[in-house]
Amino acid sequence: MTDEKTSSPVATDGGLSAEEQRVVDEIEENDIDFLRLQFTDILGTVKNVAVPSSRAKKAFTDGIYFDGSSIEGFVRIQESDMRLKPDPSTFAILPWSDGTAARLICDVIDTSTGDPFIGDPRKVLKDALERADKMGYTVNVAPEPEFFLFEEDEDGKATTKTSDAGGYFDLAPKDLASGVRRDIIYGLEEMGFEMEASHHEVAQGQHEINFEYDDALSTADNVATFRTTVRAIAAQHDLHATFMPKPIARINGSGMHTHVSLFEDGNNAFHDESDEFNLSETAHAFLAGVLEHAPAITAVANPTVNSYKRLVPGYEAPVYVAWSDRNRSALVRKPAARVPAASRIELRSPDPSCNPYLAFAAIITAGLDGVEKGLDAPDPIRENIYEFDESTREDYGIDTLPANLGEAVDALKSDEVIQGALGEHIREKFIEAKSVEYDEFRVDVSPWEIDRYLESYWLIFSSALTKSIEGHRNAVHTEGVKDETRLSAAILLVAGKESANPSSSKQGIPVFRPGGNATEF
As annotated, the active-site residues are: 67, 144, 146, 201, 208, 257, 328, 346, 348
- Which amino acid is residue 269, in one-letter code? A
Give me the helix-helix angle, 281-292 and 294-301, nearest 10°.
Answer: 70
Angle, helices 416-443 vs 356-373, to 10°: value is: 140
User: Cα torsion for 125, 128, 132, 137, to the nearest 10°?
Assistant: -20
What is the 3 state secondary structure string of 354-389? CCHHHHHHHHHHHHHHHHHHCCCCCCCCCCCHHHCC
The HSE-up count of residue 344 (CA atoms within 13 Å, CB side) is: 23
Which residues have CB under 8 Å from 233's CB, separation 6+? 95, 96, 180, 183, 184, 187
* Alpha carbon distance 160, 432 (integer Å): 30
CA distance 351 to 312: 13
Q: Please give the Cα distance from 134 to 211 (Å, whole number).
A: 28
CA–CA separation, 18 and 268 (whole Å): 32
Contact present, 104 and 465 (Cβ < 8 Å): no
Tell me the Cα Rg of the chain: 29
Beta bridge partners of 112: none
Cβ 101 vs Cβ 32: under 8 Å:
yes
Are 82 and 65 a contacting pair, CB within 8 Å?
yes
